[in-house]
Structure 1
Amino acid sequence: MGNKYVVIDLETTGNAPKKGDRIIQFAAVVIENGKIIEEYSSLVNPLQLIPPFIEELTGLNDEMVEDAPVFSEIAPKVLTLLEGAYFVAHNVLFDLSFLQEELIEAGYNGFYGPILDTVEMSRVLIPTADSFQLSELALREGLNHERPHQADSDAYVTAELLLLLLAKLERLPLNTIKQLHKLSSGLKSDLDLLMDNIMIKKESSIETIPDFLEIHHGITLKRGQDQEGLDDGEKMEYPISQSAKAEMFKKAFSTYETRLGQFSMMDSVYQAFNQEKHAMIEAGTGVGKSLAYLIPSSIYGKENNQPIVISTYTTQLQEQLLLNDIPKLRQMLPFSLKAVLLKGRSHYLSMAKFEQTLKDYEDNYDTILTKMQILVWLTETETGDIDELNLSSGGMLFWNKIKNDETVFLKSKSWLSRDFYLRARKAALQSDLIITNHSLLLIDLVAENKILPEYSHVIIDEGHHLMKVSGKHFGHTLDYLTTRLLLSQIGLMEQKQLLFKLEQLLENEELKNHEEIHSFEVNQMMVELSYETDEFFKVISVYAKKKTKSKKGYNRISSRFTADESSKDWQTVHIEAERFFFLLKDFTQVMTTRLELVKTIQGSMSAREKSFMEELTSLVDELKETAITIKRMFLNPTDEFVSWIEMDERSMQNATTVYAQPVSVGQYLKEQFFSKKKSAVITSATLSVKNSFNYMLKELGLQSTDCSVEQIQSPFNYEEQIKLIIPDDLPEVNAVPLEEYVASITEHIISIAEVTKGRMLILFTSHEMLRKTYELIKESGFLHDYAIIAQGISSGSRSRLTRNFQKFDKAILLGTSSFWEGVDIPGEDLTCLIIVRLPFSPPDEPITEAKCDQIKQNGGNPFSDYTLPEAIIRFKQGFGRLIRTKNDRGLIFIFDRRLVTTKYGNAFLQSIPPVKVEKSTINDTITLIKQWL
């Protein structure tokens, strides 16, 4: 660390120095010999007005910079600081380009020394960070970041981050450094210079590599750890008395209050397993359902010496089980317990493929960065699971080349003992509890090579999602970009991609006279296939546009399509699909024959050639799948499936996707899943509608004769903890135009926010209404001191938006569909929930429409049999966001007056815990809130 580093941060009037944007604050922190030795910062007069959004972001205004020096006055000081130093910044090209412009403008030479970008360094050295924003990294690394978006505070935090990154770089083993060094010339930063010094230092002394690392085939990686298997300990038998249960819980919780609902759920799970029956258990918030099923599952599994599978929908819950619940479980049980998380094969890295790609020359920036991320990650990961990594979209494309899958050519014995996927499967074979997700559970049913060990007893948590996942699983998807990408990876002869490499191998003496079809003919097929792909998707998008009345201001089209022989439009689609299908079929047949031929000479192929053929084989397999999908969707469609097209009007065929799903999955689940397992326990906080399980049983293909049902009430006192208010001075949601409705709810939101001081979650059912409300709130200017975070507008994943929401005291989070559930914001972080309208699915949504048609044909009532129960389940999910612990208190506003003005409104209220409903005008509401708070 003996170098000199100057960490710079600037605040500016905009982001385009070439268009005349100027610096308004300059800050520098100087590091020498691993210590911060100087700080310098100055406001700068930009000789122009500061735009309002910059003022909002930085807190700097025109008055503050009025008497500040202009840049040319501080330029000499800036140059003195930079002399003989590395120029460092978080997103270095931004700060450097500004500084260059200002220095040249002031009549000096620019800076031409070495540069380091802490964003890029963080990507490489902390590859598992959720986000590479400065404030997020500071939070992760425990650095105190007092004033984000102010240059002096930003520069100081960046300097602290740099010291951490440099220390981490020095700790990496020499072998890893050498491999990173080979790749580093493709980066923005001059990391190679830093690594030169580190390599010289490490080579001059004898390096001992830590015990937990090993070098295998030239790559440093973390040694595989076997699961802690203690001796088996005492046995434990059911039934367990109440007092014995309480004693168990006291071992793991310093303060434990008996929850009888939890005890009763434990008994029900054990009983279902023991009697080999299915069970459906709705456990209200606060019951503690995870431990209520983990304890009896573990005991039953141990007694019968068989693994129990626990399936969830969200990765969040999987992590919670592994990191929080299972350690507690181990403290509670007298015997040892092995638990493992198992995912689909393509989640794991293939070391053989990765080793091969390290030998390729690379000039793609994303690929270089991803290879460097993976080299660092291999010194830390025990799982090799991609979900740990934070890759760019370009990095994800590279991942597809190195993910684990069936191999034909690259049968690398050298990596077998260290294969992450095989290691995860082996751990699963020795485990008592196997945690997985719903889609793997379903894929495994029909997979030729089973991923999960043999099992007969399973817990399905977040069970209300099983239908949605089953629809996707038993259905098919076909989209333009994926198909196009597949073809472009095979490429034409002149593009020198995989097709070219295959034909080169076929030039081999032994194979010369074998092919009946010549290279130019195969190339011609490829040309036609590319053309037909475009034509086929064009025809589909024209069909969708004709069928749909586009919603104003909303560019997504969703259009159902049905095989109708009398329709000219359908015939056009059918003919085009036929042409496309036969072309695909011919092409994949020719390719398969050629690959079989090449297999006969694989003994003489280089590892690199094998790697290319491996890639080609899997692409050809995907094209075969595409052909099968086209056949099922367009050539032999059935009434049991609903098919629809989704597209973005702004780009013709590019963003077109076709879906087909079974109208009801119950039959499939019954035949392929429930009839094959001895006992499945389905649990969730939302399974019943008006205290009946009929809707859920029917949807999942279960009968009350083969599945017991039970409702376990939440231990919370909702009467005391919640106030539910329905404003009666809002218009009926469907009685006025959207603009008018949005205007009236925005007024209410602003009034409520001003009294409750924020910490508010607002749930919408449509993106359009969310966007319009967000814009109106912003425009009004009333809530300018609130952080207003909106899904689909503010950037970031759901969990990132939630984290940002929790950071601010005054915050409002606007969310749609995925925020109705699975978002956990306990305690003070959320005090107010607004449900804008009852969550009915739009009637023209293809799946909803098809379900309703089917119910009608069978003599049922679509509204009461499907539309209403589905909305109630979602409503219960939304309602459950507010109270997560027994000390939470909160307000719920339901802006949709149909809750009290319609007959069916009562069904919603009967399905949630008993709370008193207040109806009042906005003025009375404000008084109510003040009293309540």
Structure 2
Amino acid sequence: MRADSPSSTPQAPETSTALAEHCDALFSPGSPLQEELPQWSVREGQRELAMAVAGAIADRAILMAEAGTGTGKTLAYLVPALLHGGRVIISTATRNLQDQLYNKDLPAARRALGAAVSTCVLKGRSNYVCLYRLQRAAEWVHGRHAHTQLRRITQFAKSDARGDLSALSGLEENSALNFLLTSTTDNCLGADCPDYKACFVMKARREALASDVVIINHHLFFADLALRGEGVAELLPTADTLILDEAHQLAEIGVQFLGARCGTAQVVDLSRDVLAGGLQHAKGLADWQTLSGALERAARDLRLAAPQNPGRLSQPQVLDLPGWDVALHDLQAQLAHTAEVLSAHVEAAAEFERLMDRCTALHQAFSSWQAAPDPEQTDAPPQVRWADVGSAHLRLQAAPLSIAPAFAALVAQRSQAWIFTSATLSVGGSFRHARAALGLTPEQGGCAPVEGGAAPRCRELRVASPFDYAEQGRLLVPQDLPLPNQPGHSESVGALAAQLAMGNTGGTFVLTTTLRAAKIIAQTLRALLPGRAVLEQFDESKAALLARFASTPQAVLVGSQSFWEGVDLPGDRLTLVIIDKLPFAPPDDPLTAARLKQIEAEGRSGFTDYSMPQAALSLQQGAGRLIRTESDRGVLVVCDRRLTATGWGRQLLTSLPPFTRVSQTAEAQAFLQGTK
């Protein structure tokens, strides 16, 4: 949580006419924005977007706005929101984007407007040091490096006012240490915590409730709607304007949280808290070491019942695993036994009652996931159950196939302005897919028609990128590679990538649809490009890999899903993007399979109504990594000839920026080397 410049008096909202006139002047020649933002220039698309946002805010309407890369959409929504006044909530896709908004974009807009508003960043509790758990962490930390990091974090917690771990440089993003030092809704002691008054999470919530502009992320937005535990639910009713940036991710992120989940990581965390609490409050009254160890072993045995390789399994696949029933039975028996031991000593500490509740809740969660759906619950929204298998842990999830009903109800019951924006929201020029995914249609109830000739509450706007893609970029679709389902495809992609990267003066991205393909392609590149830096996903954290890539001339990075979007590497840092195949979701993925089945049952085409739009949006995002400024040049290679050889492929082709097509590898090489 970061707060800045508290204002004693909230800014009075501008009228609709005044707001439109003010925005028009600010995004026209002679604007005062030029003084504060030397790089700013008049862009008709940015002005058009700002005017549409201003109108939606003034009318408390719903706006879906697609703004092509380079439009300057952040400033286009910040300026009218700040001018209008009132409380503004901005939600974006990642914590990094939150920090960019808070540290760069929002201060610039405030300075340009002279806006006296208080601003803050609010993140989920897993981003803040838990002072109570920090005191216990030494019991679980092993190794010199981990102890060194623990000392750094301890000193940081003493000196930093906010306790946001992102402010501590050199800390690994997915470090196991972070899990030990932060709280969850399960293990938080709430008002019973001895550090409650100094708690960084509670400070963050209090400051958010007192701020005019609050920056959150989509994970926190949905987690809070589901759990009512992070402070966002208290903020929503007070907001005049809600801006959801990177809105193309909302539907998928929402599914993760609007269901139920439980996993072995929660059990391991519980086992450690049982040991710590037992030794602190009831030492000698039970064999806490043995109790904790048995619970942790039961959790690990359940993980070992699943395949070794990470992936996703459907519920039937999980139930058919050899040894699954025995492992789950043993885990639940151990949870029940742990609760019994705790109940015998509950008078020793209030913490024991919370630990008992966690045992019971986890026991129930595992049972509910395992059980067959209740056939009498005919009014319940369709659900799908699956298991996410990680390298060390297993998570069981049950989720609705769509967030549309829940999200439509949320939007319909709140009269605030809702601004949905992204560089990729439409498919084939239509917002139909995005609106349906969020329930923003009259039929779904999230966008009721307006009577009496008034301006519609649901509005749409598409603003093209100002970039000259035909001049700045080239598109190559090789015709001589094996098809993606044929043997040797990934090896051939790796060989072509090596050939192109060899003569590329800038950086190269190879974006894959699977981790298996990423590994094969990376191995091929290393063999064919000795001495060249070839970086592979999971070698390091994403942030560390991108930092190395950006600082290493002519580096090659091979990555899957997480590198397809949210990466901004302008100039020579990235001049070649290679996509291994068209990004259709695997049909055997449990969530995808369940959605396709439901669509087909409704008499519609799963391929046309789901697979194609999803692939188009993903393809747009991957291609969007290439050209980031007016001076960038680069080549996009899609190693899947179905893009040009099939009718549906040519439909996907229209979703790409209008790069100039080349048919030969030599033409792409010449463009990369600046000779053509």
Structure-2-length-normalised TM-score: 0.84
Change (3 A) 1:462 1:619: farther
The Cα offsets for residues 57-88 of structure 1, whole Å up to 9 and x where unpaired, read as: xxxxxxxxxxxxxxxxxxxxxxxxxxxxxxxx
CA distance in 1, matches of 2:540, 2:210: 38
Q: Match for 1:431 among 203, 211, 236?
A: 211
The offset of 1:321, in angstroms, is 0.8
Code of the aligned partner of 1:559:
L
Give the structure 2 partner of residue 645 of structure 1.
Answer: 387
Establish whether residue 458 from structure 1 lines up as the match of residue 271 from structure 2.
no
Distance 1:248 1:927, change over 3 A: closer
2:569 is the counterpart of 1:825: yes
SS in 2 for 1:686: coil
Q: Deviations over 1:301-323 (max 9, x none)?
A: x2xxx311000111121111111
| Higher RCO (C-alpha under 8 Å, 6+ residues apart) | 2
Q: Distance in 1 between matches of 2:128 and 2:475?
A: 47
- Tell me, yes or no, if structure 1 residue 661 matches structure 2 residue 399: yes
* Match in the other structure for 1:262: 46
Letter in 2 for 1:784: P
| Alignment match of 1:839 (pick from 572, 579, 583) | 583
Extract unaligned runs of 5+ from structure 1.
Answer: 1-223, 492-496, 508-518, 546-553, 600-612
Q: Is residue 82–residue 115 contact of structure 2 (8 Å, CA) maintained in 1?
A: no
**What are the residue-to-residue correspondences of 1:756-795 with 2, within 5 Å?**
756-780=504-528, 783-792=529-538, 795=539
Q: Aligned residue for 2:97?
A: 317
* Matched residue SS, 2:25: helix
Does the 8 Å CA contact 1:574/1:635 hold for their aligned counterparts? Answer: no
Which whole-Å CA distance do the structure 2 matches of 1:729 and 1:367 have between them? Answer: 50
Q: 2:386 aligned with 1:632, yes or no? A: no
Q: Distance in 2 between matches of 1:861 and 1:536?
A: 38
Please state if 1:250 is matched with 2:34: yes
In the alignment, does 2:181 pair up with 1:399? yes
Does the aligned pair in 1 maintain the 2:635–2:668 contact within 8 Å? no
Counterpart Cα distance in 2 of 1:312 and 1:720: 31
Number of residue pairs aligned between Structure 1 and Structure 2 = 642
2:461 match: 710
Match in the other structure for 2:270: 486
Q: Is 1:373 the counterpart of 2:152 in the alignment?
A: yes
Please say if 1:326 is aligned against 2:106. Answer: yes
What's the CA shift string for 1:595-629, capped at 9, x where partnerless? 3x335xxxxxxxxxxxxx64x55544433332232
CA distance in 2: counterparts of 1:701 and 1:788, whole angstroms = 43
In 1: Cα distance, 2:365 partner to 2:293 partner: 22
Whichever residue aligns with residue 259 of structure 1, its letter is R
Q: 1:46-195 to 2 correspondence within 5 Å?
A: none
For 1:831 and 1:728, locate their aligned partners in 2 and report how far apart those are by CA, in whole Å. Answer: 22
Distance 1:257 1:853, change over 3 A: same
How much has 1:558 moved relative to structure 2?
3.3
Amino acid at match of 2:95: T
Which residue, out of 669, 672, 678, partners 2:416?
678
Query: What secondary structure is seen at the aligned counterpart in 1 of 2:69?
Result: coil
Match of 1:559 in 2: 313
Distance 1:366 1:641, change over 3 A: farther
Partner of 1:159: none
Residue identity matched to 1:786: R
| Matching of residue 880 in structure 1 with residue 663 in structure 2 | no
SS at match of 2:21: coil
Whether 1:227 aligns to 2:5 is yes
- Whole-Å Cα distance in 2 between the matches of residues 362 and 523 of structure 1? 16
Matched, 1:857 2:586: no
| Mapped partners of 2:558, 2:257: distance in 1 | 30
Q: Please say if residues 4 and 118 of structure 2, whose CA atoms lie closer than 8 Å, have aligned partners that are also in contact.
A: no
CA distance in 2, matches of 1:846, 1:836: 23
CA distance in 1, matches of 2:142, 2:388: 36
Task: Quote the residue 1:297 is aligned against.
Answer: 81
Q: Is the counterpart of residue 598 in structure 1 residue 342 in structure 2? A: no
Q: CA deviation at 1:409?
A: 3.9
Q: 2:229, 2:615 → 1: CA distance?
A: 39
The CA deviation at 1:297 is 1.4
Deviations 1:151-206 (A, max 9, x none): xxxxxxxxxxxxxxxxxxxxxxxxxxxxxxxxxxxxxxxxxxxxxxxxxxxxxxxx
**Displacement of 1:661:** 2.4
SS in 1 for 2:399: strand
Q: 1:925 to 1:449 in 2, by over 3 A?
A: closer
Match of 1:385 in 2: 164
Q: Following the alignment from structure 2 to structure 1, what is the Cα–Cα distance between the partners of residues 357 and 549? A: 44
Distance (whole Å) between structure 2 residues aligned to residue 533 and residue 750 of structure 1: 44
Letter aligned with residue 190 of structure 2 = T
2:431 to 672, 675, 693: 693
Q: CA deviation at 1:556?
A: 3.6
Q: Is the contact made by 2:124 and 2:220 (CA closer than 8 Å) also made in structure 1?
A: yes
The CA deviation at 1:271 is 1.9
Contact 1:367 1:394 in 2 (8 A): no
Q: Which amino acid aligns with 1:239?
A: A
Work out the percentage of aligned pairs sharing the same amino acid. 27
User: 1:366·1:395 contact (CA, 8 Å) conserved in 2?
Assistant: no
Structure 1 position 887, deviation (Å): 1.3
Deviation per residue, 1:854-882 (Å, 9 max, x gap): 11111111111111111110000011111
* Structure 2 runs not aligned, ≥5 long: 375-380, 449-457
Q: CA deviation at 1:785?
A: 4.0
Supply the distance in 1 between the matched residues of 2:522 and 2:660 (Cα, whole angstroms).
30
Tell me what 2:377 maps to: none
Indicate which of 894, 904, 929 corresponds to 2:648: 904
Alpha-carbon distance in 2 for matches of 1:788, 1:226: 41
Q: Distance in 2 between matches of 1:462 and 1:836?
A: 24
Q: Is the 2:64–2:421 contact (alpha carbons within 8 Å) kept by the matching residues of 1?
A: yes
Match of 1:751 in 2: 499
Alignment correspondent of 1:286: 70
Equivalent residue, structure 1, for 2:202: 422
* Aligned partner letter, 1:635: A
Aligned match for 1:335, one of 83, 92, 115: 115
Q: Which among 553, 556, 574 is matched to residue 809 of structure 1?
A: 553
Give secondary structure in 2 for the equivalent of 1:239: helix
Q: Which amino acid aligns with 2:245?
A: D
Tell me if structure 2 keeps the 8 A contact 1:670–1:702: yes
The structure-2 alpha-carbon separation of the partners of 1:902 and 1:932, relative to structure 1 and needing over 3 Å to count, comes to: farther
- Offset at residue 378 of structure 1 (A): 4.2
Is the alpha carbon distance of 1:585 and 1:332 closer, same or farther for their aligned partners in structure 2, counting shifts above 3 Å? same
Residue 463 of structure 1: CA displacement?
Answer: 0.8
